[in-house]
Amino acid sequence: MKTSIATFLILLIGLNGYGQKKYNKILIEGATLHIGNGQVIPTGSVGIENGVITLVKNTLAYTYNKTDWDTVINLSGQHLYPGFVAPNSTLGLTEIDAVRASRDFHEMGTFNPHVRAQIAYNCESSVIETVRTNGILIIQTTPRGGRISGQSSLMASACWNWEDGTLKADDGIHIEWPSAYSRNWGDPITKPNEAYEDQKRELIAYLTNAKVSANNKDKNTPLQFSALSEGFTGEKRLYFHANEVQQINDILDLITELEIKFPVIVGGYESYLVADRLKIKKIPVMLGRLHSLPQHDDDPFDLPYKLPFLLQQAGVQFCLQNEGDMEAMNARNLPFLAGTAMSYGLTEEEAIRSITLSTCEIMGISKNYGSIEVGKKATLYGSVGSALEMKGNQASLLMINGAFVPTTNFQTELYNKYKTKYGK
């Protein structure tokens, strides 16, 4: 069977749920392939068998027999990307920020390393539906609150339930490092946090005791300490949320002292000021939302936009994330953050890498996700135009682990409904 793009769109509309319609052998041809690792094939073909990429070639140099593939999809003139990845996000844990009952990301207490976001993930979220159609196919659903917030998990943005949607359970533990400075609302003056040293000592003591307990393998180890143990053995990442130079330097000292194997800085607004240390220690950074105002009065107005380029020039591995106000809903803007980074120094393929392969490498899933390469799972996003531009980002194909996902959501359905009623 050979399926044109028009027939393919009808096929998508007819799907009955996620992951129900799978074909054994699929060929996608004619698209501009953005591999995710910095490479691009202007007219490429991608072959998929049983959900795994088995072929990546230049379409013009590849011929095949009709019997080679069950389904052939022509995306000529369009773009094909690895599925975009939204790290450090409350997607799936919240629906309406103003309604407390719909927010399931903040637990009571200060130290909660045992709290797991995975089992609270809501596959039926309407917010996820709108984010997915902008290319966000993998989500690091992440808890918030306290000094140690809990454990994130890597989830598919289309699934039946949290078990079905889990790509990697409990990938890391998130630690909110205390701020060295404080500022009252409306006050332009930043003041030192007089309690910083005490707060830092309390956190360091907790982490040190957790490591000692993990090393001793005491059967009576508290649940909170045992949950942290895999963060010290390297089985899980330790994500340190910090923006200030003082915070980052103190974290780097702690990483050396406790011999933490896979640390990650989350936020990293001032990370460019200590880029040399980060590079030497090979510590990656999940940069905060680029579409933000400068944090300090004497910062250049475009510093947030330039941060990816500054880290890239310094040789520090980084990716982009979207923590902040209404972050679940605004996760749809992730590809446009990459577009901004492209406007301020990165090449297009470097910008794409910052929301695909780099993110997967930092989170430890690059063996299966993050790029369009043979042997990886077929998690792909097809767009009519450039996905890094608002006008160009129009979904024509969504695929997670080789399963087709509808390219519409309730917003596009309403748009088409009223466009029909009122005309163009």
Q: Where in the chain is the domain with CATH 3.20.20.140?
A: 84-363
Lowest mean pLDDT among 30-39, 90-99, 112-121, 401-410: 90-99
* pTM for the whole structure: 0.90
Instruction: Check residue 99 and give its pLDDT.
Output: 53
Three-state secondary structure call for residue 363: helix
The residues pairing with 41 across neighbouring beta strands, listed in sequence order, are: 33
Q: Where in the chain is the domain with CATH 2.30.40.10?
A: 5-82+378-422
Comparison of pLDDT for 104 and 16, the residue scoring more: 104
301 CB-contact burial (10 Å; exposed 0-12 / middle 13-18 / buried 19+):
exposed
Instruction: Check residue 3 and give its pLDDT.
Output: 47
CATH superfamily, domain 84-363, is Metal-dependent hydrolases (3.20.20.140)
Instruction: For 171-205, write each residue's pLDDT tens digit.
Output: 999 999 999 988 666 565 678 888 999 999 999 99
Lowest mean pLDDT among 168-172, 179-183, 287-291: 179-183
Handedness of CA 198, 113, 357, 126 (dihedral sign): negative
- In the chain, what percentage of residues exceed pLDDT 70? 89
Q: Rounded to whole angstroms, how far apart are CA atoms 268 and 265?
A: 6
Contact 141, 121 (CB under 8 A): yes
Of 301, 321, 257, nearest to 87 by C-alpha is: 321
Q: Look over the chain and give the mean of its residue pLDDT values, rounded to a whole number.
A: 88
Pick the CATH number of 5-82+378-422 from 3.30.360.10, 2.30.40.10, 3.40.640.10, 3.30.70.100: 2.30.40.10
DSSP 244: S
The three-state (H, E, C) secondary structure of 149-209, written as one string: EEEEEEEECCCCCHHHHEEEEEEEEEEECCCCEECCCCCCCCEECCCHHHHHHHHHHHHHH
> What's the average model confidence in pLDDT over 32-59?
95
Q: Which two tokens stand for residue 27?
A: 């060929």
Instruction: Check residue 112 and give its pLDDT.
Output: 87
Q: What is the CA radius of gyration of the chain?
A: 22
Residue reference for tokens 């130079």: 245
Query: Which residues, other chains included, contact 10 with Cβ-Cβ below 8 Å and sequence gap of 6+?
Result: none
Instruction: For 116-145, write each residue's pLDDT tens digit.
Output: 999 999 988 889 999 999 999 999 999 998
